[in-house]
Copies of this chain bind each other. A is one copy, B any other.
Amino acid sequence: MATVRLLQDEEVSAEALAVFDDIRAVRGTEYVNNFWRALAHDPALLQATWERLKVVMAPGALDPLVKELLYVAVSATNGCEYCSHSHTAAARAKGMTPEMYGELLAVVGLANQTNALANAMQVPVDEVFEA
C-alpha cells in the first residue's frame, strides 16, 4: 500500500492525463507505472517531475544506459525499494547485461564500504584533489 491511492486514468485531472499521455508516447507503451499514478494527486508536481526526468535522462555527454546505472547506484545507496526495482528494470531495457549488473553491484558495494571507512576516520582531503 502507498500513503495515497494510485489513481486510474479516469480519476485524474486533465493536466495529469496529459502527462500520462506523454509518458506513453515517449516510452512507446500503454503502461503508466505506479510512481506516476501516486504523484498524480498533485498534477503540478507530477508534471514538473516528468518534464525534468525527460531532460535529465536524455542522451547527452553520458549515454542513457550510464545514466540508468547511476540511478540504480543512488537508489541502492538510499535503500529505495521502488526505485531500485524500476531503474534496474529500465537499465536492463536499455542494454544492461548480467555482467554489467554484477560490476555495478561490486562498485556500489565497495563505494559504500569505503565511504563508511573515510567517514569513520574523518580522513582529511588531500590538497592534490583540489579543483
Tell me the minimal C-beta distance from A45 to chain B in angstroms.
Answer: 5
Q: How many residues of A contact B (CB 8 A)?
A: 83
Neighbour of A103 across the interface among B61, B78, B108, CB < 8 A: B61
Q: Chain B contacts of A88 at CB under 8 A?
A: 3, 120, 129
Neighbour of A78 across the interface among B57, B77, B124, CB < 8 A: B77
* Docked CA distance A123–B84 (Å): 11
- Does A114 contact B77, Cβ atoms closer than 8 Å? no
CB of A26 closer than 8 Å to a CB of B? no
- Does A116 contact B121, Cβ atoms closer than 8 Å? no
Tell me the minimal C-beta distance from A111 to chain B in angstroms.
Answer: 4
Question: Given contacts A110-B52, A118-B35, is CB(A77)–CB(B74) below 8 Å?
Answer: yes
Neighbour of A100 across the interface among B38, B57, B61, CB < 8 A: B61
Neighbour of A106 across the interface among B1, B35, B56, CB < 8 A: B56
**Residues of A28-66 contacting chain B, CB below 8 A:** 31, 33-35, 38-39, 41-42, 44-45, 48-49, 52-53, 55-57, 60-62, 66
A interface residue numbers (CB < 8 A to B): 1-6, 31, 33-35, 38-39, 41-42, 44-45, 48-49, 52-53, 55-57, 60-62, 66-67, 69-89, 97-126, 128-131
